[in-house]
Amino acid sequence: MFLKNAWYVAAWSSEIQPKLQQILVLSEKICIYRDAENQVIALEDACPHRKLPLSMGRMKNGGIECGYHGLTFNAQGQCIWAPGEGSIPSKAKVHAYPVHEKYDLVWVWMGDPTQADPKNIIDIPNFDNPEWGVNQGAAMDLHCNYLLMCDNLLDPTHVAWVHQSSFAQPATKDVPLNVTHTDTGYIVHRWMMDAEPAPFYKKVVEFQGNCDRLQHYEVRFPAHALIRAVFTPAGTGGVDGTLHEKTFVMDSYNFMTPITETETRYYWFQLRNIRPEDEAISKLMTEDVQHAFEEDRLILNAVQIGQDEKKVPNIDLAIDSGQLRFRRDLAAMIAKEAALSKQSNDQPDNQTDNQQTVHWHKSVNDMKSSVSLSKTAACKAPSMLSNLECITNPAMWARAEEQGGSEAKNPRPSSGQSVVFSGSGITVTWEESNTSLLELAEQNGLKPDQSCRRGICNSCKQVLVEGEVEYFRKVLRQPAENEVLLCCSRPVGRVVIDL
């Protein structure tokens, strides 16, 4: 079970090159690559024709040409060329995953693209702070469910048993834990007072003698962890402590990407508040952390096998409180998301003839206010049709973008906008599942005067009487007043089209 409406780490930025490669995230195969502008593109890795992975095809003008029969897809997943077909088959498209690069990582949004907002990627305040040093290693592959690693990172006690040569000290065995619920997840935390620093930290702290130590184990939904370690000279720590100028802080960021239900890719790095330029300490910390994480991997892989083999229920301990609450809340979020998704998928099937009739009658009333406008707008159509340019191949497409394509203000409007076809007296509701306004028109028995299906011929102009439309992520050019590029457009709000 996975939460889909969330950002996950797809790869380190350095792992994505200008070549097609397949990755697996939440059991979905994704074809990922960089285009000529260095943008990362992520498309569903299965050609809709015979399901050959697109990653076995070729990069072409920023898109992909399938390696079997040449269907060519642009970066938005739309088929823009179907060799020998005459026109583009209406279902020739693949899902385009929103991606965003931040913190040297490529983040991918696995759910509804209309909800993807890069602002919701975890905030890492000191990532670019020159006073903080960083160490990182390669991603690790764990042969276990991602929630086992989430459990591990809400469990400060395990260091006493698993990391005896690095993170453990006697107090880690039995000082009680506190659990705090936040808006984004859970924190399990405790202060351990007046103790000898654990071996890993003893090598790097800049004070002598005993310490007060904070273990802050925080996991945020869906599976991102901040493990903060604070070491301060004894007597300066604790909840009300003043801390000391030599206080050592290490923020360890951990991102678990579910590959399948039993495989997890684990990305991590640490930020420290000392000696930012010291490469020797970065190397030392990376090696020690890698060693400790190998200890975790050994345990978690074996726990997965143990749980697969033994089907009797686990017993739970008091120390598991944070993990159990995190799992409970995440399961509820996943269930809610699945229910909402099912509801919206069911809607078109549930529509009855009566409901369609209501739409029709409603449209007659709407017509009364738009007839005069449509007549005015229709007069402008002939002059627009006179200067069309046929854009039938990717090179022409690219040129059209150069000549005026611009980012739409509202790239993915949500469903529910009214679309009034004023020349026919039909009002319908646009849903995300409608591929374009053109198809919405055709589904309602209208015959737009054009043959292109995906905005690649640019010859399907219809008159926009009212409202605003956009072309997926880009518009070919800004529409002239009262003009819409119908086949490739979506309504931003209520629109009236003279058709």
In whole angstroms, give the CA distance from residue 374 to residue 497: 8
Binding partner of residue 218 among Fe ion, ligand FES, none, CB under 5 to 8 Å per kind? none
Nearer to ligand FES, 31 or 460 (CB): 31
Nearest approach, Cβ of residue 392 and ligand FES (Å): 18
- Report the interface residues with ligand FES, using CB under 6 A: 47, 49-50, 52, 66, 68-71
Nearer to ligand FES, 68 or 127 (CB): 68
Residue 414 DSSP label: P
Nearer to Fe ion, 7 or 267 (CB): 267
Pairing of strands 426-430, 417-421: antiparallel
Nearer to Fe ion, 190 or 246 (CB): 190
CB-based contact 62:42 (threshold 8 Å): no
Binding partner of residue 66 among ligand FES, Fe ion, none, CB under 5 to 8 Å per kind? ligand FES
Nearest approach, Cβ of residue 436 and ligand FES (Å): 21
Give the count of beta carbons closer than 10 Å to the beta carbon of residue 52.
16
Nearest approach, Cβ of residue 453 and ligand FES (Å): 16
Nearer to ligand FES, 47 or 271 (CB): 47
How many residues make up the chain in this entry?
Answer: 499
How wide is the angle at C-alpha 277 spanned by C-alphas 271 and 282, nearest 5°? 55
Binding partner of residue 71 among ligand FES, Fe ion, none, CB under 5 to 8 Å per kind? ligand FES
Binding partner of residue 28 among ligand FES, Fe ion, none, CB under 5 to 8 Å per kind? none
Spatial neighbors of 48 by CB under 8 A, at least 6 apart, are 71, 79, 91, 92, 93, 94
Q: Which residues of 356-383 are buried (b: 16+ CB within 10 A; e: fewer)?
A: eeeeeeebeebbeebeebbeebbeebee
Nearest approach, Cβ of residue 67 and ligand FES (Å): 7
Omega prior to 413 cis, within 30 of 0: no
Nearest approach, Cβ of residue 430 and Fe ion (Å): 50
Nearer to Fe ion, 264 or 363 (CB): 264
In whole angstroms, give the CA distance from residue 115 to residue 245: 43
CA distances, 490 to each of 389, 429, 438 (Å): 21, 12, 9
Structure tokens at 236: 């300066």
Binding partner of residue 96 among Fe ion, ligand FES, none, CB under 5 to 8 Å per kind? none
Residue 459 DSSP label: -
CB-based contact 276:130 (threshold 8 Å): yes
Binding partner of residue 274 among ligand FES, Fe ion, none, CB under 5 to 8 Å per kind? none
Tell me the residue nearest to Fe ion as measured from the CB.
296
Binding partner of residue 113 among Fe ion, ligand FES, none, CB under 5 to 8 Å per kind? none
Nearest approach, Cβ of residue 45 and ligand FES (Å): 12
- Report the interface residues with Fe ion, using CB under 5 A: 296
In whole angstroms, give the CA distance from residue 295 to residue 410: 47
Nearer to Fe ion, 76 or 254 (CB): 254
Q: What are the phi and psi torsion angles at 391 (to 5°)?
A: -120, 90
Nearest approach, Cβ of residue 43 and ligand FES (Å): 13
